[in-house]
């Protein structure tokens, strides 16, 4: 069931211009993602934010794992690229963090909702529980210096644009950009409860996320015979 759901989601997202996706080694459980911010007022506009996303064998009953592959300066992004975001936490309430079940992962969530939440997070940082303390302090005390640091990250991210890929612009995609809904609840972005080995260490931007990290991952080959549907 997980393979069928993921393939349907992959095909649907491959048609969108705000995200560029490919399969790692034709494995439907491991995706390479390029997130593109289409809001021209965003500090992150114009960047190509490369990430890896890995799915458990019981998806959608358990959440995927997500990590930016290039360092991205942001209060809610750890230096190794992992996120401080409730939607990727296991289902159910967490008394320790104060997160409600409605804020965390549920089987009703999909890849699109995760990616839209991440795009919203970029320009709506929660500095009260930062994953990157230095970024949180800089944003509060020196916004202009923070903006300059982010600008350098955006420029560096362009090195990850695939050869032959035409970056969309706000004008060319204004009718197809994802709808970003900001959450005003300051507790929504709670401290991450992922462990340090979730992605097998920080690694390089070429390092793949090993699906063996999941205890329930099947040993069968789950690759697809179809060519990757990324937009070139």
Q: Is 84 a catalytic residue?
A: yes
Kindly name the residue from 13, 77, 84, 119 that is annotated as catalytic.
84
Q: What are phi and psi of 32, to 5 degrees?
A: -105, 130
Torsion from C-alpha of 85, 27, 35, 106, nearest 10 degrees: -30
Catalytic residue set:
84
């Amino acid at each position: 069931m997980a393979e069928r759901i993921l393939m349907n989601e992959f095909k649907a997202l491959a048609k969108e211009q705000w995200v560029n996706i490919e399969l790692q080694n034709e494995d439907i459980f491991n995706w390479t993602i390029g997130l593109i911010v289409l809001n021209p007022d965003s500090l992150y506009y114009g960047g190509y934010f490369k990430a890896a996303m890995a799915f458990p064998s019981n998806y959608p009953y358990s959440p995927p794992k997500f990590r930016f592959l290039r360092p991205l300066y942001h209060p809610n992004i750890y230096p190794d690229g992992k996120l401080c975001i409730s939607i990727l936490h296991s289902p159910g309430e967490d008394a320790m963090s104060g997160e409600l079940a409605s804020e965390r992962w549920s089987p009703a969530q999909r890849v699109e909702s995760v990616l839209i939440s991440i795009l919203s997070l970029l320009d709506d940082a929660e500095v009260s529980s930062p994953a990157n303390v230095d970024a949180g302090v800089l944003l509060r005390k020196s916004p202009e210096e923070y903006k300059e640091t982010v600008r350098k990250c955006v420029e560096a991210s362009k090195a990850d644009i695939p050869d032959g890929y035409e970056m969309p612009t706000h004008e060319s995609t204004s009718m197809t950009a994802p709808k970003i809904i900001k959450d005003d609840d300051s507790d929504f972005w709670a401290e991450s409860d992922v462990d340090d080995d979730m992605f097998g260490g920080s690694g390089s931007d070429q390092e793949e996320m090993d699906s063996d990290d999941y205890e329930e991952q099947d040993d069968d080959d789950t690759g697809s015979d179809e060519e990757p549907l990324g937009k070139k």
